[in-house]
Amino acid sequence: MLSLTNKRILLGITGGIAAYKCAELTRLLIKAGAEVRVAMTRAATEFITPLTMQALSGNRVSLDLLDPEAEAAMGHIELARWADLVLIAPATADFMARITHGEAGDILTTLVLATSAPVALAPAMNQGMWADAGTQANLAILRERGFAIFGPASGEQACGDVGLGRMLEPVELAEHAAALFEAGYLAGKHLLLTGGPTREALDPVRFISNHSSGKMAYALAAEAAAAGARVTLVSGPVNLDTPRGVKRIDVESAEQMLAAVMEEVANCDIFIGVAAVADYRPAEVVTDKIKKSADELQLRLVKNPDIIQQVAQLQRRPFVVGFAAETTDIIANGREKRARKGLDLLFANDATATFNSDSIAVTALSAQQETEFAPANKQVVARKMLQLIANLVA
Ligand code: C5P
């Protein structure tokens, strides 16, 4: 149940079309028990009126840095001190750029600089603007400085494009905000995860691999660290930044992944096997590049070790969680796999919809219960998965 009882949330609205969702967001935050005050950039007032936000929040909206009346009611520094959380939704590319550089030319940038409360950003922009190297560089700096980033989600955009850059839905933002205050549900736990694909070398320049992006494992690692866990991530080759506070060990092959896991597993409480480990590897790795000659080339493959099964068979074993990306009979295959590998919990999902995607729909299967999670952003689903695991481990 969403709880924000007595939390003071300063909602900062910047000028993007997703600003219209702030009415619903404010309603949800208040319903969850929060006190909400709103500050808006001038551009934001083109998308939603201050009067709407005043009526819903029950408080006067801050619009100008140098407004004597507003300053007399609650000055901007006082407002920055008042907040338990500053939530900027939507956060435009321009606003992110400005706070990256410590600008303080308007009420909202000034509040971000002045506050010592956590600041969360819900980016919302055109997919091209999100993907742009400038935005991504700013994002990396903001993450590094400890800003929480909620989303964005992928999908249809107001401009007609389809891609990453949609603001998360108000209910998801409210859940993320609540989770920031609950951080600590995995405090004291050590989590070990595998993620990404493995690469099985054929010769010095070629390998067999798969399309796993690593996004699910990285989302879980980031959420677990934010929830207070000590997190070790054994990662195959992926194109993702290491989440804050996560110890990352890079490997390539399944055998290297197994060795790294066995090094780390001794004192971990929870093991989550998210990696798409190659089932087979070439029987021999030749030291010189295979030359093109005959019309046919036969490859002989041998089975790779099953990492999660080996963890599940340890004498002193952690709570073991697996994933099953299936293309047919998703639940039946998942149940069978969980039992055969001796896992405590397994998340079954549709492989065709999941690989390299930003969203996921899963069903959690344990010996006692089966719970279906609605399709959502991997970050949102990661939290639900970890909360379920935390409940089962506690
Ligand atoms: O590939 P499969 O569907 O069997 O994967 C199910 C689970 O087993 C996943 O959690 C995966 O990370 C893990 N696994 C593993 N080592 C393998 C194959 C799969 O840890 N060799």
| Residue 277 alpha carbon to ligand 1 centre in Å | 6
Ligand 1 atom nearest residue 326's Cα: 3
As to burial, measured by CB atoms within 10 angstroms (0-12 exposed, 13-18 middle, 19+ buried), residue 293 is exposed
| Ligand 1 lining (C-beta closer than 6 Å) | 194, 254, 273-275, 277, 304, 306-308, 322-324, 337
Whether 8-179 and 190-287+299-393 share one fold: the answer is yes
- What was the pLDDT predicted at 356? 67
- As a whole number of angstroms, the distance between CA 248 and CA 193 comes to 10
Catalytic-labelled residue, pool 159, 187, 262, 297: 159
- What was the pLDDT predicted at 239? 96
CATH of 8-179, one of 3.30.9.10, 3.30.750.24, 3.30.420.40, 3.40.50.1950: 3.40.50.1950
| Residue 303 alpha carbon to ligand 1 centre in Å | 12
Distance from the Cα of residue 72 to its chain's centroid: 40
| Residue 375 alpha carbon to ligand 1 centre in Å | 22
Alpha helix positions (H), 64-122? 68-73, 76-82, 93-100, 107-114
Is it true that the peptide bond before 204 is cis, omega within 30 degrees of 0? no
CATH of 190-287+299-393, one of 3.20.20.100, 2.70.98.60, 3.10.450.50, 3.40.50.10300: 3.40.50.10300
- What was the pLDDT predicted at 188? 87
pLDDT means over runs of 10, the chain (394 residues): 87 97 97 96 96 96 84 82 95 98 94 92 96 95 86 87 92 92 84 98 95 94 92 97 92 98 95 97 92 91 98 96 92 96 94 74 90 87 91 83
pTM over 0.75: no
- As a whole number of angstroms, the distance between CA 106 and CA 40 comes to 9
- What was the pLDDT predicted at 230? 92
Ligand 1 atom nearest residue 321's Cα: 10
Six token digits for residue 296: 């046919």
The residues spanned by each domain of the chain are: 8-179, 190-287+299-393
| Residue 323 alpha carbon to ligand 1 centre in Å | 7
As to burial, measured by CB atoms within 10 angstroms (0-12 exposed, 13-18 middle, 19+ buried), residue 292 is exposed
Whether 159 is a known active-site residue: answer yes
265 close to 314: Cβ distance less than 8 angstroms: yes
- As a whole number of angstroms, the distance between CA 77 and CA 261 comes to 49
